[in-house]
Amino acid sequence: MTALLRYQTALLLRSQRWLPPVILYAAFLGVGVQSGQPVLDSLGYTAAALLPVAAWLVRICVTGEPAAARACVTAARGPARSHLAALLTALAAAALLGTVATLIVTVISHHATNDHRLPVSPVRAGTAGLLATLACALLGSAVGALTNRPLLRSPGRAVPTMLLATLLAVVVGGSPAHAAVSGLVSGSESGRIPVSPLPLAAAALLTAAAFTTACALNGRRSS
């Protein structure tokens, strides 16, 4: 598995297909997050914006390899494990990106509530932001896993479905990403920092189920 992960990581980094989503994420944060703004509000933006980026990174990892090269790897390791390696690589990339963004946003933001009256502890805010960001990375990867190969193969169906699903995952009540992000945004009003691992745990469960489904179907459907 280590060798597969190394191979997938090298493929992702060297292909440079990670550049567009990362640049878009940076641009979005550059517009939406300014230094000196309330920290929890900005962390909410940072987490929510990561969700489509994570889904996009999954799409890059599961479709980036030419089909014949994928067949060679699949013969060596089996359809489920080779697909899992691609999904985990994308998830790790999204988690890394989100962590870096969260740290930067935590440092440059104003450590207070929206009305600038109540102080907000940067360490607790950063922890809450990190939990929310990881929940969004997980859920975005889950959406990516379920809306790309092997479930949806034609880009004409996969890309719109993926974008719609990422939007729904952020805005629909009951979604762990929505819970995590709205916890940060309302905390920025009230000053109560929502350090709860519940959304993260729920997102992890959903992602495990999504990855299992995608890996089990790889090899069953035509690739």
Partner 1 sequence: MHRDLELARVGRRYGIRGPWVLRGVDLTVTPGSLIRVEGANGTGKSTLLRLVAGIETPTEGRVTGRPRTAYVPERFPAALPFTPSGYLTRLGAVHGLSRRSAAARAATWLERFGAAAYADTPMAQLSKGTSQKIAVAQALLADPELLVLDEAWTGLDAEARAELERAVAERTAAGGAVVFVDHDPRRLAGVPDAVHQLVGGTLERRTAPAPSPAGALTVVTARGPASGRLPADAARTAVSAEEPAPGTYRLMVPASHSDVVLRALLAAQPPWHVVSVTPSEPSDVPPDRKDRP
What span, in angstroms and rounded, lies between the C-alpha atoms of 56 and 162? 8
Neighbours of 86 (CB within 10 A): 30
Q: Establish if 15 lies at the interface with partner 1 (CB under 8 A).
A: yes
10 binds partner 1 (CB under 8 A): yes
Tell me which DSSP letter residue 191 carries: -
Cβ count within 10 A of residue 1: 11
Please give the Cα distance from 79 to 101 (Å, whole number).
Answer: 34
Q: Which is nearer to partner 1, 71 or 201 (CB)?
A: 71
**Of the candidate residues 21, 38, 44, 79, the single one contacting partner 1 (CB under 8 A):** 79
CA distance 46 to 106: 10
Question: What's the min distance (Å) between Cβ of 16 and partner 1?
Answer: 8
Least Å distance, CB 217 to partner 1, is: 9
Q: What string marks each residue from 111 to 130 as x (binds partner 1 by CB under 8 A) or -?
A: --------------------
Binding residues for partner 1, rule: CB under 8 A, are 3-4, 6-7, 10-11, 14-16, 65-69, 71-79, 219-223
